[in-house]
Amino acid sequence: MTDPDVSFTLAATMSTAAAPQGDTAERTTALSHRIAREVARLGPPGWVEVEASFAMTAAAEITLVVFGDGEDRIARVFPTDEILAMLREHRHLSASFGDGPWWRYLLSMTSEGRMDVDYDYGDEPFPDDQLFPPTVYRTDIEIYPRERLPVWLAAYLNHGDRQVRTPRLAAEQARADAAAGTVATRSAPDVEFPALPEMTSRWALIAAAFVAVESDLGPRAAPAFLVFEGTSRGGATLCKLPGDRAVLSGGVWDAPELDAAYNGVGTFPQLYRGAPSWVADVVLNRRAANGLLTFCYWWEGGHWHRGDSPRADDLAGAVPGVWSAQTVVDVIASRLGDAASAAQLAAIPALVRAAEQSSMTHELLSAVFPGTGFDVDGAWFQLTVAGLTTERRAEVAADA
């Protein structure tokens, strides 16, 4: 087929610090043109676009090249040895752009020759299917030393299970804290986080609102657990336990204390300082297993407690808008958008009050999310598993 007339641009996500300079710029640009032309030659008849990702280190490589046509059909092809050789050369040259070479080379191109290239230095975690075992990255770092690593990658390589807290270890640490007189920091309800009942009801109601508008994002409720993953890659888990106890834990994407600790100029925060023995792995956010937990609070005796976790007002990106009833009203209103009627908006405060009193009804929910276009059944399920509906209260009363 005829080679596309490649018009080369760097993707907007490429950082200025990583921009090639001088002769290296000319060489890497020429290589990218050659790579693009060779990739284009692999395309099947009628292709209109190609997306390619090349994850590379000095010890291993993963490639994915997919062509698409104008009828939503796709075809995966495999790069030639010549393409891979050029990519290795490009990666070697890129080591002079900044702190080490790129980890992934991302290419998008149309059959008309429009091409975008992004050099991925790991600012965000790599997709699971393009993530190598830790030993592969360690080998690459020996060949291309770096001053620092992205926090998630540094944790992936070096977390050493330091945040793992098995029940046995939790009990041992709790006994050691008691013997040493180590205590956690205690905060009064609503000074940092809301009290547990209000936090639970608000979290579940926000989850119901996201489900009602059929959003794939946002918090969710499940029996004993409330979860949240934010768009800024922060997130948290609230695990409720018998005896009016709970554990709130999670991570902030750009936590400076983890960056300092993993990159060698700080110490690791003692998140479990003074924690009771029931603050253990099974109730902790999944980030603990990867060494990326940045906060851990526990509720006991009517108060939130924490070790060396940051204050709650530093965790807004990792926790849904549970800070006040008005915050919840604002979040729900934002989910409805500009199309919301005055009646819908006026019904939101009553919905929040009912959730906080565990007296939610279908009528209140439908007043905010009426008619077609809303998943009211899914929203109702979120409220049910969180124990906020009148039906549950009636069942409990009948059983008694």
Question: What is the side-by-side order of every strand in the sheet holding 245-251?
Answer: 185-187, 303-306, 295-300, 245-251, 235-241, 225-229, 220-222
pLDDT number for residue 397: 45
CA of residue 69 relative to chain centroid, distance: 32
pLDDT number for residue 391: 65
359-368: pLDDT as tens digits: 999 999 999 9
- Is pLDDT of 13 > 70? no
249-273: pLDDT as tens digits: 999 988 899 999 999 888 999 999 9
- Distance between CA 73 and CA 260 in Å, rounded? 47
31-69: pLDDT as tens digits: 999 999 999 999 999 999 999 999 999 999 999 999 999
Q: Is the dihedral of CA 111, 115, 121, 127 positive or negative?
A: negative
269-309: pLDDT as tens digits: 999 999 999 999 999 999 999 999 999 999 999 999 999 99
Residue 394 banded pLDDT, cuts 50, 70, 90: very low
CA of residue 210 relative to chain centroid, distance: 17
Find tokens 């986080």 and name the residue.
193
- Give this prediction's pTM: 0.85
Question: What is the side-by-side order of every strand in the sheet holding 7-10?
Answer: 7-10, 114-120, 104-110, 49-56, 61-68, 74-77
| Domains of the chain, CATH where assigned | 7-147 (3.30.500), 158-393 (no CATH)
pLDDT number for residue 11: 39
122-160: pLDDT as tens digits: 998 899 999 999 999 999 999 999 999 999 999 999 999
Q: Chain-wide mean pLDDT for the chain?
A: 90
pLDDT number for residue 42: 96
CA distance to 100, 151, 170, 279, 292, per residue, from 275 (Å) = 40, 25, 8, 6, 18
